[in-house]
């Protein structure tokens, strides 16, 4: 959604309240005391009222905005900024744009939104065929490790291990599916994909992605994640790491690509997982530099959520607009992230 469209739809706090109220009614508002659903609205209190026990239910009760002292329009504006710009935004920049005096409320608001992005994506599984690999992201050296000799390689205190999973298919397979459908829309998609494939050296089409911060590269650690987030009827393509020994036999298929020519493996079999790693790592580094490991998963959540909905950006239809989708999940999910749970150095720029 463009800025002019946002200003036109939500010029006042009241317009935001009205829209969020309608969203909550559609999704269903339940009384926290007796569980009865209600749509009775108390305009003066800006709250719902239970038709059975008379309990007053604040508009933001049970949402990501619960307990926040920021106005609803401030939340909406932050969501607009986060969804309308492809790059990662810092809380400092959002604080400046919203003209908010204090930094902590803005930081907390954005972290809560990143938290619910991850919660939403966690309900979906990747399927069909996926590329899988591990990556290392630069992080701020933990307080307890400062003063120690800096290690090199996978065990470095300056790096966090991240598991990256990308759902992809060969271009030829997708083209064949489109042409078999033989509809006007599918033929148009096939033509667009064929032209794009000619311009790119990547022979695969990417769909959805997931990224997870992990403590180690053991097979047990990876097994727990992949079995939860990848459908069993899936073919996994990887570089044949020893951490992947349990994939074969559990999933539909497992392809190992161990070759002396690493570039060949990446370009042919694991292209998109490395594209995703590069884009995410450079995007975070460009804005935040080094981040604390405890925050990294939240930044990964935002990158994955936006990437998985990249075709919804700036849609003229509210049903598909990225901003509206974020507002809808903001009405469903709560976040347990609290400012006091985190230590932020004075020079931390997030």
Q: pTM of the predicted model, to two decimals?
A: 0.89
Residue 98 belongs to a domain:
no
pLDDT of 143 higher than 80:
no
The rounded mean pLDDT for the chain is 88
Residue 95 belongs to a domain:
no
Are residues 253 and 171 part of one domain?
A: yes
**pLDDT at residue 336 in the model:** 85
**pLDDT at residue 145 in the model:** 62
pLDDT of 140 higher than 50:
yes
Residue 83 belongs to a domain:
no
- CA-nearest of 121, 348, 95, 133 to 239 is 133
Residue 300 belongs to a domain:
no
In degrees and rounded to multiples of 5, residue 93 shows phi and psi of -70, -45
Q: Kindly list the strands in the beta sheet with 126-138, ordered across the sheet, starting from the edge strand earlier in the chain.
A: 204-214, 159-170, 126-138, 230-238, 253-256
CA torsion angle for 33, 36, 42, 46 (degrees, to 10)?
Answer: 60
Percent of the chain at pLDDT > 70 equals: 90
Are residues 228 and 136 part of one domain?
A: yes
For residue 166, the surrounding DSSP H or E stretch is strand 159-170
Are residues 133 and 53 part of one domain?
A: no
What's the domain count of the chain? Answer: 2
Are residues 129 and 48 part of one domain?
A: no
Are residues 251 and 144 part of one domain?
A: yes
Residue 104 belongs to a domain:
no
Task: Point out the domain boundary residue: 252, 282, 312.
Answer: 282
Host domain of residue 159: 125-282
Mean pLDDT within 11-21: 96
Are residues 144 and 236 part of one domain?
A: yes
Residue 10 belongs to a domain:
yes
Model confidence over 288-341: pLDDT tens digits?
877 888 899 999 999 999 999 988 765 667 677 899 999 999 999 999 888 776
Are residues 136 and 53 part of one domain?
A: no
Residue 68 belongs to a domain:
no
């Amino acid at each position: 959604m463009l800025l002019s469209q946002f200003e036109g739809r939500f010029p006042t706090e009241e317009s935001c309240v009205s829209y969020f109220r309608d969203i909550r009614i559609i999704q269903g508002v339940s009384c926290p005391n007796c569980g009865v659903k209600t749509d009775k609205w108390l305009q003066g209190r800006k709250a719902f009222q239970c038709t059975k026990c008379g309990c007053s239910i604040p508009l933001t009760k049970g949402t990501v905005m619960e307990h926040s002292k920021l106005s609803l329009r401030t939340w909406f504006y932050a969501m607009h900024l986060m969804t309308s710009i492809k790059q990662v935004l810092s809380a400092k920049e959002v604080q400046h744009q919203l003209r908010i005096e204090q930094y902590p409320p803005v930081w907390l608001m954005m972290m809560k939104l990143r938290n619910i992005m991850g919660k939403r994506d966690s309900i979906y599984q990747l399927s069909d065929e996926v590329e899988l690999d591990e990556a290392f992201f630069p992080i701020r050296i933990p307080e307890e490790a400062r003063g120690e000799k800096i290690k090199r390689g996978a065990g470095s205190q300056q790096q966090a291990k991240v598991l990256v999973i990308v759902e992809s298919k060969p271009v030829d397979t997708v083209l064949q599916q489109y042409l078999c459908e033989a509809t006007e829309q599918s033929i148009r998609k096939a033509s667009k994909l064929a032209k794009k494939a000619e311009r790119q050296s990547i022979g695969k089409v990417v769909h959805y992605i997931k990224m997870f911060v992990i403590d180690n590269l053991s097979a047990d650690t990876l097994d727990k994640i992949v079995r939860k987030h990848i459908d069993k009827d899936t073919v996994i393509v990887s570089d044949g790491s020893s951490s992947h020994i349990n994939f074969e036999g559990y999933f539909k298929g497992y392809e190992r690509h161990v070759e002396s020519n690493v570039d060949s493996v990446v370009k042919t079999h694991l292209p998109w997982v490395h594209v995703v790693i590069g884009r995410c790592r450079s995007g975070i580094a460009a804005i935040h530099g080094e981040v604390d490991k405890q925050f990294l998963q939240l930044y990964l959540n935002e990158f994955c959520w936006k990437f998985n909905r990249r075709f919804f950006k700036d849609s003229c239809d509210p049903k598909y607009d990225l901003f509206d989708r974020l507002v809808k999940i903001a009405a469903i999910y709560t976040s347990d992230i609290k400012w006091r749970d985190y230590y932020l150095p004075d020079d931390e720029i997030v």
